[in-house]
Amino acid sequence: MSFKILTVSIQNEQDVVLARQRARELAALLGLERGDQTRLATAVSEIARNAYQYGGGGKAEFSLEGGAAPQLFLIRISDAGAGIANLEEVLAGRRRSGNGLGLGISGARRLVDQFEIRSSRSGTAVVLKKMLPPGSPLLRPERLMAMADELIRGRPADPYQEIQQQNQELLAALDELRQRQEELALLNSELEDTNRGVVALYAELDEKADHLRRADEIKSRFLSNMSHEFRTPLNSITALTGLLLGRSDGDLTPEQEKQVSLIRKGAQDLTELVNDLLDLAKVEAGKIVIRPAEFEVANLFGALRGMLRPLLINENLKLIFEEPQGIPPVYSDEGKVSQILRNFISNALKYTERGEVRVAAAFDAEKQVVTFRVSDTGIGIAREDQERIFQEFSQLDHPIQKKVKGTGLGLPLSRRLAELLGGSLRVESRPGVGSTFHAAIPVLYQPVEPMTPAAAVTLDESRLPVLVVEDNPETAFIYEKFLKGSPFQMLPVRTVREAHSVMKAVRPSAIVLDILLPGEDAWVFLAELKSDPNTSWIPVLVVTGVDDRRKVMALGADAYCIKPVERRWLVDQLTVFTNPDRRRILIVDDDEASRYLLRRALPGRLVIEAGGGREGLRLAVERQPQVIFLDLKLPDLSGFEVLEKLKEDPQTRDIPVIVVTSRVLEPQESRRLAAFAEAILSKQDLSPEAVSHALATPRREEGSQEAEGEQHD
């Protein structure tokens, strides 16, 4: 989800100052630290000045990306100038103009989390990205509009005031540098003492870890014992109040009946809390027992219908059980499945004042999963609260909440029970419309095997390693089953730290990443992967419960899927992004529109782009693409020169080249190209069909060459 905050037109030096000021002010309003404010303002100032001086003016657009915290701050600065020649050399810091153009761009690149630049003869666009700090609140459009209004109403600083501000920031930076130098000297002096204490520290950590394990066992034991001790008096209270309400010892006055009913209701609520606490303690202690047996979904629905109809006391509300169709017998723990559905239905009845609560089930033959669905027309749940409701003791603030009571343990317990059965839970909801809770339960229960650490996995050289960053053992188990018998070998890790450790020893062919990792910032991990030239080429498939596609893709992910994932999707995506015949394609063209059309015609490929001939030659050596699309008219070298250099270099001479041109070629040019290029593609027809046909040509020629070689051998 993208929210535009404001736009600053850049037509003169005063506008450059204003863009810098707006960047700093917005960074402060968004909660960035003082140092980050200065770095971001400096980067914006450098790029905005380039747009004014070299691009003849442009604009700076400030926006916020993401529907979940932490959000992504984006600043896009664009112009309609003649573009930047030798862009790759400028970014690498090897080239700059006499007045410092290259230095500003390469410097700005180091000041932000992610930096994107596209340049052609029709202009240049730079996108600066900065992740908001962890723990930042989710900012909604109305708050962003208020920020924009506040900035617009404010009086812009004149250039003199901005220079003063920059001087103050410089002095603060120098003072911070001096303090860090002093701290570094102090740290160096303490390093020797610290090293001597490392061994003792590890011993102490081992001891504390042992204490924590014992404390966790004691906590579970306490909850279990406490629950059992509470149950006896609570059962007595419930039984005795039942006797009183049954008039076994005489009539009660209306007031006495009301008082006894309140006592009985309180005892029943407390019993429900105790039961949930006991179940949670069993799950945490690993003492919950799964008793699988074969049962029919229709019989389960019949039992639930009879059990829950007494709770339906609202005449404006209907409880509907759809008749199951085409669902085979399920081999699982019927009691646990029933407990999950009872919790869904009782919650729906509590928080739905009128309309209906509908219970249904459907069978997925491919995944061998029965998905139970409980839909209501109740109050609904906001998107930002849909994960919070699965946290223990978490309850949402709503007027209906004051009328009905709950423990806040039902949904967390239901999720854990579903995971123990090898399944999963998810929710779809809109405030004011209603909610639908889904429980996906395998038809055949299989005990969950403990997740094997990636470090303990023996690599199979015949399969491609896929790093799976997933903290949930049940989900990791599902991935393992999905990839069994496929060309991909799973390397499971639970944390970002473990992922970094594995990547030092193994270079994965792809990464499957869950964004929701407790205590981990997977957003930053994704941004780092795609910002580092050493890892940016690795395909990253984000599979998560967070519905924030735009933010995920803005950070560079190659594919995105909301859980639960299907086996076909996972294997197909991995096949597309790891297939060496289809993965890396280099486009060498200075026209952004032509590069865009080619990208659209190459779905599923990892497309590398170069805006000039020299940059294209360098990328061809570094990235070794399977195919190169080459424009003949480039700003630095001609396409003919690039072709000759490619064929002269032993590292690139075997790479097929497809010439893409809008020119009408002379016969002499066609003959010259025939010696180097495998196909010629007209820019007038960059349709997927035409591009696919051109791609097929090099493969056919390669196949014929191999056949000829075999005959000669």
Q: How many CB atoms lie under 10 A from the CB of residue 73?
A: 27
Q: Which amino acid does the sequence have at 588?
A: V
Q: How far apart are CA 414 and CA 419, in angstroms?
A: 9
pLDDT at 704 over 50: no
Reported in sequence order, the residue ranges of 632-688 that DSSP labels E, i.e. its strands, are 657-661, 679-682
| Residues 292/331, Cβ–Cβ less than 8 Å | yes
* pLDDT of res. 296: 92
The torsion of the CA quartet 535, 539, 541, 547, rounded to 10 degrees, works out to 70
Q: Over range 28-34, report the average pLDDT.
A: 89
Reported in sequence order, the residue ranges of 450-558 that DSSP labels E, i.e. its strands, are 464-469, 488-493, 510-513, 540-544
* pLDDT of res. 699: 39
pLDDT at 349 over 90: no
Label the pairing between strands 369-376 and 114-120: unpaired
Q: What angle do CA 149, 30, 380 make, to 5 degrees?
A: 85
* 542 band by pLDDT with thresholds 50, 70 and 90: very high
Q: How many CB atoms lie under 10 A from the CB of residue 414?
A: 23
Q: Over range 433-448, report the average pLDDT.
A: 86
The H or E element containing residue 356 is strand 355-364
> Order of strands, edge to edge, in the sheet holding 58-65?
2-10, 58-65, 72-79, 123-131, 114-120
Cα-to-chain-centroid distance, residue 457: 26
The torsion of the CA quartet 529, 530, 532, 536, rounded to 10 degrees, works out to 100
Q: Looking at residue 455, what DSSP letter applies?
A: G
Q: How far apart are CA 178 and CA 277, in angstroms?
A: 55
**Distance separating the N- and C-terminal Cα atoms of the chain:** 60
Q: How many CB atoms lie under 10 A from the CB of residue 308?
A: 19
| Residues 108/65, Cβ–Cβ less than 8 Å | no
Q: Which amino acid does the sequence have at 618?
A: R
Q: How far apart are CA 515 and CA 524, in angstroms?
A: 10
Q: How far apart are CA 610 and CA 174, in angstroms?
A: 38
pLDDT, tens only, 669-688: 777 787 778 888 888 777 77
pLDDT, tens only, 225-280: 555 556 567 667 777 787 788 777 778 888 888 888 888 777 776 776 666 666 65
